[in-house]
Chains A and B, each alone.
Chain A
Amino acid sequence: MSLNEQHTQRRPIRVPLAEKLWPFLRASVNVFGSVIVTIFGLLLITFIIGRVMPIDPVLSIVGEQASQSSYDAAYLELGLDKPLLVQFFYYLWDVIHLDFGTSLLNARPVTEDIARVFPATLELATIGIFMGMIFGIPLGVLAAVRKGSWIDQIARVVALVGYSMPIFWLGLMGLFLFYGVLGWVGGPGRVGIFYVDIVPSVTGMILIDAMLAGNWDVFKNAFSHIILPASLLGYYSLAYISRMTRSFMLEQLSAEYITTARVKGMSEWDVVWKHAFKNIRVQLITVIALSYAGLLEGSVLTEIIFSWPGIGSYITTALLSADMNAVLGGTVVVGLIFILLNIFSDLLYKVFDPRAK
């Protein structure tokens, strides 16, 4: 046996292992690295913005009429006397330990605040995005298939209104009509006052907590409160999803393989759903993931109108009052959501797109 032969014999054992591991490793390192770099950049930028904002965080705690000694005490307590770089590294250290500090404004740990406000947004956004998908995708597909027909025109108008109407106006009108006049849905707030704090908070999402507790009265009440704001967000994402679906579908429907399928006598249903739609799934995932991330950021105006204590109004209030701990904490959470949804949609690509396998 020559040396050469020995070498070729060993090869099947060593190389495929490395070949198998290497892409996985590389992908993991890539994902991990980009996550770290993104988070670091996020923290750095928000930190800098927080420091150059023309708002005095000390003043927002102690008030305008505070004496110099109270002011100084609060100043030192915040560590504002330290150099900026030192303040930033303190902050990084705390974030690594999942400690976002105490909210300057309500004296509670920011982590606790976020754990309280984020489930409210999550609940709202999840129902919203489902509504957007359930109605938006068929509408988009239909508009593409019947391009130029009355159904396409209606879809266009629906989407245009969803895009261009200020959401707070739609919200107020919806509230006025469905709550004020018709009394079909609950008013502002997550749940009616008689149902507050009845079911123990497990997930922070009232619908799920009520289900876990088996309390259907609370569930019904909470549902009547969430349905309007969720529909509003659903409508808003529907506008985007249906337009994007339509344009993706049009592109596919004009492709040659579709003509071939039709020529072969395939039913229109199969052409649309089994051929064309199958090929736009990957693009749609991106669109939906982005819409979902947008909703999870919290829709400030919707939250304000519906007195929904979510993360959007939390961050906005914190920002306006120079509560930097809360702003940075909230921003990190929103940033993480974007990153997680990105990873998640990447994973879905792999499932749906054979080329990415």
Chain B
Amino acid sequence: MKLMNRLLTSAAVGLAVSVSSFAALAQTPDNMLVIAHRIDDVTTIDPAESFEFAGADISRNVYGRLVFLDPNDLDAGYKPGLATSWDVSEDGKTITFTMREGVKFHSGNPVRAEDAAFSLQRAVILNKTPAFILNQFGFTAENAAEMIRVEGDKLVITTDKKYATSFLLNCLTATIGGIVDKETVMANAVDGDMGNNWLKTNTAGSGPYILNSWKPNESVTLTSNPDYYRGAPEMERVIVRHVLESASQRLLLERGDIDIARNLNPEDIAGALTADGVKVSDELKGRLMYMSLNQKHPELAKPEVRQAFKYLIDYAGMRDSFLNGQYTIHQNFLPATYLGASTENPFTYNVEKAKELLASAGVENLEIEVGVREAQERIEIGQSFQNAAAQAGIKVNITVGTAKQILSRYRARELDVYLGAWGPDYPDPQTNAGTFAYNPDNSDEANATGLLAWRNSWDTGGLTEKTAAAVQETDRDTRIKMYQEIQSEFRETSPFVVMFQQIEQSALRDNVENWSTGQAITAAAYWQVTK
């Protein structure tokens, strides 16, 4: 169906000579930004609960956070946001935030330390999916009021152990760090839900945009906040329309009815580039495509075999064919644009080298099962690997299944090889380091299904300790260096074959400037966009 769809779509699009030469172009008003995007993954917009991409886009533009990520300078990392400064105690466990004065919520209420404390406590107490981002600092529903508190007009956060300051602050840039208006939220609380039910579909923020409406699978409409403390956004209205079909998005863009199309497939990107007045912007996103070898398998546990597999991936071949424009080669567990990310990609496709390694390990007639979810590109990667492995004398059986089928076997450590994707959960290196290179208890009883290293029965050979040390390192530069070292060892020794990092391509009308989808670390921002 999908293939058929694509074929016929390209046939239709192939007819597109030049749309603009026939009919007069529409144009969106200068103060309005219209975006076509798939927004069917938005399930809730409560910052304490939201954990999907399109939801994070809304949240980023509606809620202020203690620290701020500048869409025009994401490399700089966090900057002062609703907090103007912070002091760290000597033992490294307590951070005191000074709040920015004169900032108001959309309701007109002032943004106080009390609101910040309430927002974070609320996220911990509600304990929804993203709560783990905060709970890893030792917060629980019972101690939240004590660990996150207001002293005078300052917000004080105490963690259970010493952590890198950058770790805590990076976590506060995530969606869950959104500061909500306590008065408004509590006025809408029902049955002790701390306003959760109301905030699922309403907002109470202080960010650059005010949510007018969110119609599921239809549209999100935002109006600029004229009192935004960084200055009112240039785009006074932002409309995000849910357009599922890539070809429809492209037509809308080429006709000038929208400014940005966010979900064009590679064929439509190529086509859109030939149209007048359209440009394409690429941004690296957080999703990694990887393959991992279960260390319970006696052959796969041999260091030479792990190495050999890294030479059996046709990295460039896949990037330049079916992954064209959507993925780039990346062989490290931290996505590029993350703090401490490495861009070294030493492995290339080399069947001879792999054969030598396999021979030196004494491996013969190896037959393995690779588990893949039923997603087109993953299956294609699997097939490419299957071909390469066959040349090196390894028989690969690909098992395709639903997410539930494959993941439950992966989590139960039953798969020989898993081929899939991993997306970071929050914008700090710990999010991936803490799962790829951290596994304090490798026994079956530990049942640490959340840790990728555990799922593959890998005891990490000392990287666990190094990862634990990195997350406590207060000096930012030293911390970066530590991650570089961990990754360089990981590349060589780990049973993970990290292959690709996702690229997001947006097609824009060429008068749109400063567009940012937030790279790997955050979500899309609208307030800096100009036309």
CA distance A55 to B404 in the complex (A): 6
- Which residue of chain A is the closest to B28 with respect to CB atoms? A193
Quick check: B241 and A116 within 8 Å, CB to CB? no
- Shortest beta-carbon distance, B326 to chain A, in Å? 21
Tell me if A2 is interfacial: C-beta within 8 Å of chain B: no
Contacting A197 at CB < 8 Å: which of B19, B213, B254?
B213
User: Is B34's CB under 8 angstroms from A193's CB?
Assistant: yes
Residues of chain A from 174 to 208 with CB closer than 8 A to chain B in the complex: 175-176, 179-183, 187-189, 192-193, 196-197
Asked whether A30 is an interface residue with its Cβ less than 8 Å from the other chain, the reply is no
Residue of A nearest to B219 (CB): A196
> Which of B23, B239, B403, B405 contacts A181, CB < 8 Å?
B23
| Cross-chain contact B4 with A63 (CB below 8 angstroms) | no
Instruction: Decide if A67 touches B450 in the complex (CB within 8 Å).
Output: yes
B216 is contacted by which of A54, A61, A105, A176 (Cβ under 8 Å)?
A105
Whether A176 contacts B251 in the complex (CB less than 8 A), given A61-B43, A181-B23, A193-B241, comes out as: yes
Q: Do B257 and A67 touch across chains, with their CB atoms under 8 A apart?
A: no
Cβ-defined contact, B404 with A56, below 8 A: yes
Bound-state CA distance A309–B440 (Å) is 49
How far apart are the CA atoms of A117 and B252 in the complex, in Å?
22
- A196 and B221 within 8 A (CB): yes
Any B CB within 8 A of the CB of A314: yes
Assess whether B242 is in contact with A70, with CB atoms less than 8 Å apart. Answer: no
Give residues 286-318 of A contacting B (CB, 8 Å). 304-307, 309, 313-314, 317
Interface string of B342-378 (1 = CB under 8 A from A): 0000000000000000000000000000000000000
Report the minimal beta-carbon distance from B424 to chain A, rounded to whole angstroms: 10
Minimum CB distance partner of A120 in chain B: B218
Tell me the residues in window 209-258 of chain B with beta carbons closer than 8 Å to chain A beta carbons: 213, 215-219, 221, 239, 241-245, 247-248, 251-252, 254-255, 257
Q: CA–CA, A208 to B5, complex, Å? A: 34
Cβ of A73 within 8 Å of any chain B Cβ, yes or no, is yes
Binds B, one of A40-48, A106-114, A156-164, A245-253: A106-114
Question: Could you mark each residue 131-154 of chain B with 1 if its beta carbon is under 8 Å from any beta carbon of chain A, else 0?
Answer: 110010000000000000000000
Residue B44 interfacial (CB < 8 Å): yes
Q: Specify which chain A residues have a CB less than 8 angstroms from the CB of B161 in the assembled complex.
A: none
Q: Which of A145-153, A165-173, A346-354 contacts B (4 or more CB under 8 A)?
A: A165-173
B200–chain A nearest beta-carbon distance, Å:
4
| A contacts with B, residue count (CB < 8 A) | 50
Chain B residue with the shortest CB-CB distance to A177? B15
CB of A64 closer than 8 Å to a CB of B: yes
Q: Would you list which residues of chain A between 54 and 104 have a CB under 8 Å from chain B?
A: 54-56, 59, 61-67, 69-70, 73, 103-104
- Let me know if B201 and A193 touch, CB within 8 A: no
Determine whether the beta carbon of B216 is less than 8 Å from that of A307.
no
**Across-interface contacts of A56 in B (CB, < 8 A):** 404
Q: Provide the residues of chain A in CB contact with B200, threshold 8 Å.
A: 107
* Complex-state Cα separation, A56 to B411, whole angstroms: 15
Task: Note all chain A residues with C-beta closer than 8 A to B221.
Answer: 196-197
B315 to chain A: which residues have CB within 8 Å? none
Partner of B255, one of A59, A183, A314: A183
A183 with B22, Cβ < 8 A, contacts A107-B44, A108-B201, A304-B244 known: yes
B143: min CB distance to chain A, Å: 16
Write out the residue numbers on chain A whose beta carbons fall within 8 Å of the beta carbon of B242. Answer: 307, 309
**Nearest B residue (CB) for A66:** B129
Contacts of A181 in B (CB 8 A): 19, 22-23
CA distance A176 to B405 in the complex (A): 40
Q: How far is the CA of A306 from the CA of B247 in the complex (A)?
A: 10
* Contact of B239 with A173 in the complex, beta carbons under 8 Å: no
A62 near B129: Cβ-Cβ < 8 Å: yes
- Within the complex, the shortest CB–CB distance from A199 to chain B, in Å, comes to 15
Report the separation of the CA atoms of residues A61 and B213 in the bound assembly, to the nearest whole angstrom. Answer: 22
**Is B529's beta carbon under 8 Å from chain A?**
no
CA distance A294 to B403 in the complex (A): 32
* Known pairs A70-B131, A175-B248; A307 contacts B243 (CB<8 A): yes
Residue with the greatest number of chain A CB neighbours at <10 A, chosen from B11, B213, B219, B425: B219
> Are B217 and A313 in touch, CB under 8 angstroms?
yes
Are A314 and B217 within 8 A (Cβ)?
yes
The answer to whether B270 has its CB under 8 Å from any CB of chain A is: no
From known contacts A166-B8, A304-B245, infer whether A73 and B251 are also in contact, taking CB-CB under 8 Å: no
- Interface residues of B toward A: which range? 35 or more
Report if B127 contacts A (CB, 8 A).
yes
Q: Please indicate the chain A residues that have their CB under 8 angstroms from the CB of B28 in the complex.
A: 193
With a cutoff of 8 Å between Cβ atoms, the chain A residues found around residue B215 in the complex are 116, 309
Known: A168-B5, A181-B23. A64 touches B407 (CB 8 A): yes
Instruction: Considering the complex, give the chain A residue whose CB is closest to the CB of B239.
Output: A193
Most-contacted residue by chain B among A169, A172, A187, A306 (CB, 10 A): A172
- Residues in A with CB closer than 8 Å to B8 are 166, 168-169, 172
**B244 and A313 form a contact (CB under 8 A):** yes
Contact with A along B1-44 (1 / 0, CB 8 A): 00011001101110110010011100010001010000010111
Residue of A nearest to B11 (CB): A169
B290 at the interface (CB under 8 A from A): no
Inter-chain contact A182/B23, CB cutoff 8 Å: yes
B51 is an interface residue with CB less than 8 A from chain A: yes
Q: Encode contact with B along A254-287: 1 for CB under 8 Å, 0 otherwise.
A: 0000000000000000000000000000000000
Q: Is the CB of A192 within 8 A of B257?
A: yes
Which residues on B sit within 8 Å (CB–CB) of A62?
Answer: 128-129
- Rounded to whole angstroms, the CA-CA distance of A166 and B4 in the bound complex is 10
Task: Give the residues in chain A near B11, CB-CB below 8 Å.
Answer: 169
Are B402 and A54 touching (Cβ within 8 A)?
yes
B12 close to A169 (CB less than 8 A): yes
Q: Which of B9, B19, B251 lies at the interface centre, i.e. has the most chain A CB atoms within 10 A of its CB?
A: B251
* B197 at interface by CB-CB < 8 Å: yes
Q: Judging by beta carbons under 8 Å apart, are A107 and B43 in contact?
A: yes
Q: How far is the CA of A181 from the CA of B8 in the complex (A)?
A: 18
Q: Are B22 and A65 in contact (CB under 8 A)?
A: no
Contact of B241 among A105, A173, A176, A189 (CB under 8 A): A189
Point out the residues of chain B lying under 8 angstroms from A104, CB to CB: 43
Nearest-Cβ distance from residue A183 to partner chain B, whole angstroms: 3
Chain A residues whose CB sits within 8 angstroms of the CB of B15 once the complex forms: 173, 176
Q: Are B43 and A188 in contact (CB under 8 A)?
A: no
Is B131 within 8 A of A108, CB to CB?
Answer: no
Question: How far in angstroms is the closest Cβ of chain A from B379?
Answer: 18
**Please, how many angstroms separate the alpha-carbon atoms of A117 and B218 in the complex?**
10
CB nearest neighbor in A for B12: A172
Contact indicator B16/A180 (Cβ below 8 Å): yes
Q: CA of A106 to CA of B45 in the docked complex: distance in angstroms?
A: 9
Task: Give the residue of B135, B219, B248 whose beta carbon is less than 8 angstroms from that of A306.
Answer: B248
Whether B129 lies near A188 (C-beta < 8 A) is no
CB distance from B287 to the nearest CB of A (A): 13
CA distance A69 to B44 in the complex (A): 19
CA distance A314 to B217 in the complex (A): 8
- A183 touches which of B24, B219, B247 (Cβ 8 Å): B24
A105 and chain B: residue at smallest CB distance: B43
Chain B residues whose C-beta falls within 8 Å of the C-beta of A61 in the assembled complex: 43
Q: Let me know if B404 and A59 touch, CB within 8 A.
A: yes
Q: Is there an interface contact between B42 and A106, defined as CB atoms closer than 8 Å?
A: yes
A sample of 13 more A-B contacts (CB under 8 A), given A66-B129, A307-B243, is: A65-B425, A70-B128, A70-B129, A105-B43, A106-B43, A113-B216, A117-B217, A172-B245, A173-B15, A181-B19, A183-B22, A187-B257, A313-B244
27 contacts between A and B (CB under 8 A): A55-B402, A59-B404, A62-B129, A64-B407, A65-B450, A67-B450, A70-B127, A73-B127, A105-B216, A106-B43, A106-B216, A107-B201, A108-B216, A116-B215, A166-B8, A179-B255, A181-B22, A187-B252, A187-B255, A188-B243, A188-B245, A192-B257, A193-B241, A196-B239, A307-B241, A309-B217, A313-B217
The 4 closest A-B pairs by CB, nearest first: A183-B23, A107-B200, A106-B216, A309-B218
